[in-house]
Structure 1
Amino acid sequence: RCIGRRTSARFPELEEGESIAHAWYMAYTQPASTPRGAAPQGPVYAISTVIEFGGSGGRVAGPVVKKIAEYLLEREQ
């Protein structure tokens, strides 16, 4: 199970009215067998990624976090 939050941070204006967003995504994983509201029983990972000038956090940084989470969780099996 992977729970995350996407966001974008605006870079200062390059020219009047023009700015570029950095793509952010933060997430944590826990075993899928963990009951809702209970402390995780097993490995837990916190993952954060920033892609400079990437634009949308969910569209750009989210898939990167997903690949990292899949890799970490596959190693545990």
Structure 2
Amino acid sequence: MDSTINEYCTRITNQRTTILAEQLKPLFDLIVIELNNNNSTIDDYCKIIDTLKNIYGSILIDQIIINNEIFNLI
């Protein structure tokens, strides 16, 4: 698994109860860059999806998050 994607997902998971949309967006953007720049594996995508499952739904539907490219890639 790409260690950079894993690092970002771990950071999100560690902050899952306190993270704000404004903090999440830059991390999503960095993950998108990694997915676009590397030959990502299915494990990378599974890690991202597992990470998303841990985030409160109200954060994921925030206007600055909902249209993020990460959702198109997964």
| Normalised TM-score (structure 2) | 0.32
From the two aligned structures, give the one with the greater helix fraction: 2
From the two aligned structures, give the one with the greater strand fraction: 1
Which one has more relative contact order, counting CA pairs under 8 Å at least 6 apart?
2
